[in-house]
Amino acid sequence: MVSRVIPVDPFDLVIFGGTGDLARRKILPGLFRRFCAGQMPKDARIIGAARADMDAAGYRALIAEAIAEFGGGRTCEDGTLDGFLERLHYVPIDARGEKGWADLAGLMRDDVVRAYYFSVGPSLFGDLAQRLNAHGMTDEASRIVVEKPFGRDLASAKALNKDLATYFDESQIYRIDHYLGKETVQNLMAVRFGNMLFEPLWNSQYVDHIQITVAETVGVGGRGEYYDKSGAMRDMVQNHLMQLLCLIAMEPPSKFDPDAVRDEKLKVIRALDAVEPHHIVRGQYEAGDEGPGYREEAGDPRSRTESYIAMKVGISNWRWAGTPFYLRTGKRLKARSSEITVVFKELNHSIFGEQQDHRNVLSIRLQPNEGITLGVTIKEPGPGGMRLVDVPLDMTFADALGEDGADQTDAYERLIMDVIRGNQTLFMRGDEVEAAWAWTDPIIDGWDARGDVPKTYDSGSEGPVDAVQMLARDTRVWRKVAP
């Protein structure tokens, strides 16, 4: 199967924070891969902007190093890197001052798509938006891309939305959640809405429960102090897990267009039940072979921030009332694995008698080994009567789609190309983000008010034992965290 690469329109993409970690690790290597794939038109330009004094040659050298380190080993033909680097420019600029703004304004072209990527801390979003406007660098077709975290609670998210809305229309604002750029996450929609098979069963009448797991093996490492101000709830649940939950639970949109999809996601968030304290387990990892314990890495021996969270969530709507969603995410767990599992109900009646306690389980693996598996019950081969066995119908994309299945385009490169195309479907709308915080805030406020202390768990384990017990009370078990 041959990938189709549809070139995008010529663009000037300014990356504020163009020397930072995210730009070097993800954004620029991703753009390089799009260049190698032939998706970048000849006159596209990428302009790095940060306070450090540097010229274009210095910036090109910095990015060449970043591509060597973070490019994932994907190489293009000889000479292609130079072709890419030629498109890079650099302007020293201060988001909070006047330095560099006239230079940047002088560099921008009128007849191309203008996109401004705010790869800086959110405290600079308002300053950047205001200065872009003051220097006449935006028009109706200009876009801005903003990174997470989009606020740390409802009040701060509202303030950010308000700041941006002063200068930009919602149709110009692209709030990135890179989970939405993952191939399998989009496949979730293709599987649900592109097949007759699943949709009729996709409700509380047939689905017993759904699990969403995002497990990491890494700890907070050098980011400990930063992470300690957020924790798993703010860093993962409010955004990434919430988006996965929305895609799995939403009603079919009338069409695959940005507002139709985002309207349906918003309805899911608004239908989420408040979570009871005994339906949440928070954890912190202990020291182990893998490294120091959470509190040590966070630099605070009394830290109450969670590096793990598991929760039972209900959705009060016609489709899902009575079907629990179990979410869990954590660091320093046994394996790196992101998976959504739909566990269907037992048969109403088995003609095979008591031996039949098999259930269909649909697993959607986001990483690693992207793919979808459906567990079905068949007859165990051989003589000796009718014995049943569960087997997986396995569609690992790498197997099913050959090279195209294995060679996944990184989420960032896909999303940046969507920005240039002007397609907001895979970006969060302001009201979605606010609704997610409105649901999250009371949970976090409750912990603070009660002085809730996270449970400990062993590094390299599957998380706190309390999370296992939470499901056991519902006579259910977590899927194994396995690669």
- Mutual angle of helices 258-270 and 430-450, in 10-degree steps: 20
Report the site for ligand NAP in 63-102 (rule: CB under 6 A).
Answer: 93-96
Number of H helices, E strands in the chain: 18, 15
A 10 A CB-CB count for 119 gives: 23
Report the site for ligand NAP in 11-40 (rule: CB under 6 A).
Answer: 16-23
In the set 50, 66, 246, 420, which binds ligand NAP (CB under 6 A)? 50
Judged by CB under 6 A, the stretch of 44-52, 135-143, 233-241, 450-458 that binds ligand NAP is 44-52
Distance CA 282, CA 467 (A): 8
# of chain residues touching ligand NAP (CB under 6 A): 23
Query: Looking at beta carbons only, is 50 or 309 nearer to ligand NAP?
Result: 50
Query: Looking at beta carbons only, is 19 or 341 nearer to ligand NAP?
Result: 19
The minimum distance between CB 465 and ligand NAP, in angstroms, equals 31
**What is the x/- site pattern for ligand NAP, positions 118-137, by CB under 6 A?**
-xxxx-x-------------
Judged by CB under 6 A, the stretch of 68-76, 116-124, 270-278, 306-314 that binds ligand NAP is 116-124
CA dist 101 to 12, 111, 209, 275, 468, Å? 15, 20, 53, 47, 55
A 10 A CB-CB count for 347 gives: 14
The minimum distance between CB 276 and ligand NAP, in angstroms, equals 31
The minimum distance between CB 378 and ligand NAP, in angstroms, equals 44
Residues whose CB falls within 8 Å of the CB of residue 426, separated by 6 or more in sequence, listed in order: 180, 181, 186, 414, 415, 418
Distance CA 133, CA 127 (A): 10
The minimum distance between CB 54 and ligand NAP, in angstroms, equals 9
The minimum distance between CB 284 and ligand NAP, in angstroms, equals 22
The minimum distance between CB 119 and ligand NAP, in angstroms, equals 5
Q: Is 461 in the site for ligand NAP (CB under 6 A)?
A: no
Judged by CB under 6 A, the stretch of 47-55, 161-169, 309-317, 330-338 that binds ligand NAP is 47-55
Cis peptide before 92 (omega within 30 of 0): no
Query: Looking at beta carbons only, is 149 or 446 nearer to ligand NAP?
Result: 149
Contact between 460 and 288 (Cβ < 8 Å): yes
CA dist 271 to 23, 201, 321, 375, Å? 36, 20, 10, 30
Report the site for ligand NAP in 136-165 (rule: CB under 6 A).
Answer: 147-149
Distance CA 255, CA 245 (A): 19
Of 321, 316, 237, 312, the closest CA to residue 275 belongs to 312
Catalytic residue at 240? yes
Q: Which residue is nearest to ligand NAP (CB)?
A: 20
Query: Looking at beta carbons only, is 48 or 293 nearer to ligand NAP?
Result: 48
The minimum distance between CB 22 and ligand NAP, in angstroms, equals 3
CA 405 to chain centre: 20
Query: Looking at beta carbons only, is 121 or 299 nearer to ligand NAP?
Result: 121
Q: Quick check: helix, strand or coil at residue 171? A: helix
Query: Looking at beta carbons only, is 410 or 462 nearer to ligand NAP?
Result: 410
Q: Quick check: helix, strand or coil at residue 82? A: helix
| Enzyme catalytic residues | 240
Contact residues for ligand NAP (CB under 6 A)?
16-23, 50-52, 93-96, 119-122, 124, 147-149
